[in-house]
Amino acid sequence: MKKNFAVVGFGGMGSWHVNHALKSDVLNLCGIYDIDEKKSALAKEKGIYAYSSLEELLNDKNVELVTVAIPNDVHLETVVKLLRSGKNVICEKPVALSSSDLEEMIKASKESGKLFTVHQNRRWDVDYLAMQSIKDSGEIGKPLRIESRIHGSRGIPSDWRCQKSHGGGMMLDWGVHLIDQLMLIYKNEKIDTINCVETHITNDEVDDGFYLTITFESGAVAFVEVGTYNFLPLPRFYMKAEKGTALIMDWREKTKVAKCKYWHENDVLPVQTAAGLTKTMAPRDSVTLDEYELDIPKSDVHDFYRNVCKAIDGEEAQLVTHDQVRLVLKIMEQAFKSAKLNQTIKFQY
Ligand code: NAD
């Protein structure tokens, strides 16, 4: 049976959730609540019920599941109220502005016995899924270094995302997705150190991008870069592994894989550079490599909601767990600390 569902916040992402709910095989949309009367009026125009207050939604016993899609600084109070009123809750990312806020949410979930999870929807992005499948298949061995980048060229949106008090900045906005993905790819690795450098090209108050290096105890590295002032982008994903390299240029493109078949080459044709010849940096003889492209993985982001509904009924474990969101939040907190101190710091969980 479909779960009776509501959304708090009817802005950009709230509308996304509403549109998904309207076509869902697992959700039945009961309505939205937004603090802004213009948003409520807009919902009514679209034939969607708009709760007149949060209390009205809290008291609607019909609603079992609520997604919270409001600015980051107001997640805590809304999530806790919803859980304490007996609703199952999905919170938008980043779940909270601090680990202590997250612990309050988890406490409310445990005490109410209601499901609480986070909308880490980029676990269904096909570029990430392709990287995950290469790692899991072991076809190019263990990753030594994975670089995950997104490069935009429009700065930060000029809404609450450029204000610190609302939890703005690119680490909390995009870093949270890219770190979550890399922690799943490197799921059995233990973090040793964190180094982060923020960029403030278009915005002083919050980071408009950053370079984050996470080094694991094994020596493997996860590198995350978010940029909003890049007029030519670098590749989306680059994996250097024990037996080869994998590359994804753009979200929508296939993964290119070069697997090393034979380490030794007979004759290396040198490459002419302005300063002279180089053999070291010349391309490998193609007979020593197995080069191919991977099909784009199949993905349906609505599987997030299907999982949540099954988890409420005790039929599946929730995919986005408290431990996973806690780890990502702690990495981001320590990345901010590293950037502030301008030094590499030992990771503390
Ligand atoms: P937005 O500014 O477009 O919309 C926010 C809405 O929340 C507005 O309509 C505002 O009136 C309303 N609001 C503010 N405070 C409220 C409160 N206390 N109670 C009820 N309504 C309130 O912002 P957005 O882009 O939709 O972002 C909302 C959340 O979704 C953020 O946490 C953001 O990080 C997240 N988000 C996630 C993704 C994703 O891919 N998972 C993408 C975009 C945004």
Of the listed ranges 114-123, 280-289, 317-326, the least confidently predicted one is 280-289
User: Which residue puts its alpha carbon closest to atom 9 of ligand 1?
Assistant: 11
Domain boundaries defined on the chain: 3-119, 123-300+330-346
Work out the pLDDT band at 97, boundaries 50, 70, 90.
Answer: very high
- The minimum-distance atom of ligand 1 relative to the CA of 36 is 11
pLDDT of residue 265: 86
165 alpha carbon – ligand 1 mean position (Å) = 14
11 alpha carbon – ligand 1 mean position (Å) = 6
Question: Does the Cβ of 301 fall within 6 Å of ligand 1?
Answer: no
- The structure tokens 């020596």 sit at 219
- Which tokens in the block code for residue 212? 């984050």
Question: Does the Cβ of 117 fall within 6 Å of ligand 1?
Answer: no
Question: Does the Cβ of 67 fall within 6 Å of ligand 1?
Answer: no
Can you identify the CATH homologous superfamily of domain 123-300+330-346?
Dihydrodipicolinate Reductase; domain 2 (3.30.360.10)
Percent of the chain with pLDDT over 90: 96
Work out the pLDDT band at 266, boundaries 50, 70, 90.
Answer: confident
- The structure tokens 């609505």 sit at 302
User: Which residue puts its alpha carbon closest to atom 8 of ligand 1?
Assistant: 11
Over range 97-120, report the average pLDDT. 98
307 alpha carbon – ligand 1 mean position (Å) = 23
20 alpha carbon – ligand 1 mean position (Å) = 16
Class of domain 3-119: alpha beta
- The minimum-distance atom of ligand 1 relative to the CA of 121 is 41
Question: What Cα–Cα distance (Å) separates residue 53 from each residue in 32, 33, 47, 103, 156?
Answer: 10, 7, 18, 26, 31
Q: pLDDT digit string (tens) for 282-302?
A: 999 889 999 999 999 999 999
10 alpha carbon – ligand 1 mean position (Å) = 7
Q: Closest by alpha carbon to 71, among 81, 79, 60?
A: 79
14 alpha carbon – ligand 1 mean position (Å) = 6
Asked if 3-119 and 123-300+330-346 have one fold, the answer is: no
Residue 265 corresponds to which amino acid? E
71 alpha carbon – ligand 1 mean position (Å) = 5
Over range 103-119, report the average pLDDT. 98
- The minimum-distance atom of ligand 1 relative to the CA of 77 is 18
62: DSSP letter: T
pLDDT of residue 252: 84
Q: pLDDT digit string (tens) for 152-194?
A: 999 999 899 999 999 999 999 999 999 999 999 999 999 999 9
* Res. 267: pLDDT tops 90: no
179 alpha carbon – ligand 1 mean position (Å) = 21
What lies within 8 Å, CB to CB, of 124 at 6+ separation is 299, 300, 301, 303, 304
This prediction's pTM: 0.97
Pocket test for ligand 1, best of 13, 79, 174 (most atoms within 8 A of CB): 13
pLDDT of residue 223: 98
